[in-house]
Structure 1
Amino acid sequence: MNNEPLRPDPDRLLEQTAAPHRGKLKVFFGACAGVGKTWAMLAEAQRLRAQGLDIVVGVVETHGRKDTAAMLEGLAVLPPKRQAYRGRHISEFDLDAALARRPALILMDELAHSNAPGSRHPKRWQDIEELLEAGIDVFTTVNVQHLESLNDVVSGVTGIQVRETVPDPFFDAADDVVLVDLPPDDLRQRLKEGKVYIAGQAERAIEHFFRKGNLIALRELALRRTADRVDEQMRAWRGHPGEEKVWHTRDAILLCIGHNTGSEKLVRAAARLASRLGSVWHAVYVETPALHRLPEKNVGQFSAPYVWRRSWARRRLHFLIQRKKKQ
């Protein structure tokens, strides 16, 4: 028997040493446009720049707001990449340039943004994921209506279907979430003063999306989502050795869905309920022969893979029920 101590693999050690630590993600979160998320992000960046941190602006949308544009002074800005799209050139974030520049911190406004066709990733949150994997810290902004699990709720409140969404697991995995809050009356006053949208757009916004009832509901959603996150952090902290533990018996949620148009809404509703109760949840998809009698163009949107892509249940089961052939 060889009694020599096991030696670590040199190649493995080199690989571990070369691999960068994952960057940290900080999300500036709010109820809707105009509450001050971008301004708060830039203010924090300026504070860190004054301390000597290497910071680059990847994407910041000022939307013509002078106070926001003024906050960019002194910050290095990464030039955008020009891409051809439908006969014209548009500006997009240059991911390769950011990775080559490799700052300590990069600012990436509008987390839910969809990239132009031909980009490496279809979504900005995927660009950010690659930056984090490269060891770069990221600041970003997002509104509550862009969270995937709240998509149906926001649509019911505002009457507007938000197309650009961010997966909840990505948001939940953020190292820090800063709630940027503004009372509805103050936000509507900012709109009237032209501090959110240009003249004309502001008037239409006040009469539609920015109605006071909508703003109250969106604010409640943002506050509740932030409170749920803090509650989850407290539960995790109580699990640390030496901390007082208070154990509660929790119910688990089982969602049973099939090939109908309501499945996607049920998935989101189950996720919201589980988050609110602090419970785990499981999804069961039952596929019957009726699915295969649908027109071919509709089968994809009711299939298990389509539903699973929108589900982040702890466990997902797929049952296939086949009709027994007659002898």
Structure 2
Amino acid sequence: MTINRPNPDALLAAVHKDEQRTQRGKLKIFLGMAAGVGKTFAMLVTARALRDEGVDVVVGYIETHGRPETEELLADLEVISSRAMDYRTVQLLEMDLDAVLARHPQLVLVDEFAHTNVPGSRHRKRYQDVIELLDAGIDVFTTVNVQHFESRADAVRQITGITVHETVPDSLLDLANEVELIDLSPADLQKRLSEGKVYTAERADLAAANFFRTGNLTALREMALRLTAEHVDHQLQEYMQRKQIAGPWKSGERLMVAVGPSPYSEQLIRWTRRMA
């Protein structure tokens, strides 16, 4: 009889990773298929419930998009004032990273994970701000849409015809202790769009005719579901390794990627890395 034994190197790596996670803050990602599904709303509702249980919660940065229901949830939460930064002829607001670190709450809310910071900021990308907060031992809630993950950006461009410029590495999913999918049917999201709950009327009409078409939203929804399922599967494998549970370590397909001097090789490698 063949006994399935955990790989010692894999066990050691899992233990090391577990030790790192106990020392740093915990990351929760609220994931959606597109703008308007309710990621920020869900994040605020969850944070308020934790605040009511005694958790020290502050808002590092929230983008309300002028939505009254979102602004109402912000009303009695502690908000760290944003930092005004000059960019060309305008002033733009960014999260005040130093102020959040000085305040050092148990949990900070940081909207728009894939955001590119104003030139002159300490970090180029907001996800790098989040990593610094986690390294300081602060828990972070953040929001992101599926098209912003690098392995999905190419497929999104092919499906929608829109190039996603703000992306985050897929490796950041490995940092996440939890990924919560905020799911909404394409029809319900289109209804929210038509009611002015996502964008202003002029922008909503343009979005409905382009990015928010039913076929696009259906494909994006499937991507978000798959990404969440992959994250759960990876967490299960790590748990089995830590607990030395023998079993079928790989429940999915085995993958091999063939690459050559093609402009699509980089896309194939990213996709295979994520699927593996």
Please state which band the TM-score falls in when normalised by the shorter chain. Answer: 0.7 to 0.9
In 2: Cα distance, 1:52 partner to 1:77 partner: 17
Residues 233-261 of structure 1: per-residue CA shift (max 9 Å, x gap)? 22233334464523559746355444x53
Q: Give the Cα separation in 2 of the matches to 1:232 and 1:168.
A: 13
Q: 1:253 aligns with which of 245, 252, 256?
A: 256
Aligned position for 2:53: 51
- Correspondence for 1:95: 97
- In structure 1, runs of 5+ residues without a counterpart are 1-19, 280-327
Tell me the CA shift for residue 127 of structure 1.
0.3
Question: Aligned partners of 2:144 and 2:249: how far apart in 1?
Answer: 34
Partner of 1:195: 197
Identity of aligned residues (%): 52
Task: Identify if the C-alpha distance between structure 1 residues 171 and 239 changes in structure 2 by more than 3 Å, giving closer, same or farther.
Answer: closer
Counterparts of 1:166-315 in structure 2, within 5 Å, are 166-241=168-243, 243-247=245-249, 251=254, 253=256, 255-258=258-261, 260-272=262-274, 275=275, 279=276
* Residues in 2 aligned to 1:158 and 1:254: alpha-carbon distance in whole angstroms: 25
How big is each residue's C-alpha offset from its partner over 1:7-60, in whole Å with a ceiling of 9 and x where there is no partner?
xxxxxxxxxxxxx93111000001010111000000001001111211111111
Q: Give the TM-score of the pair, scaled to structure 1.
A: 0.74
Residue 189 (structure 1) shift: 0.5
Residues 256-308 of structure 1 deviation map (CA, whole Å, 9 limit, x = unaligned): 444x5333223223324xx1xxx4xxxxxxxxxxxxxxxxxxxxxxxxxxxxx
Instruction: Report SS of the residue matched to 1:64.
Output: coil
Q: Does 1:139 align with 2:145?
A: no
One of 25, 28, 45 as aligned partner of 2:27: 25
Moved more, 228-237 or 73-82: 228-237
Q: 1:209 to 1:248 in 2, by over 3 A?
A: closer
Give the match's secondary structure for 2:23: coil
1:34 and 2:36 aligned: yes
More moved, 84-93 vs 229-238: 229-238
Q: TM-score, normalised by structure 2?
A: 0.87
Distance 1:268 1:240, change over 3 A: closer
**Which amino acid in structure 1 is aligned with residue 161 of structure 2?**
G
**How far apart, in 1, do the equivalents of 2:124 and 2:97 lie?**
12
Unaligned 5+ runs, structure 2: 1-21
The Cα RMSD (Å) is: 1.9
| Larger-Rg structure | 1
In 2, Cα distance between equivalents of 1:241 and 1:118 = 45
Higher relative contact order (CA 8 A, sep 6+): 2
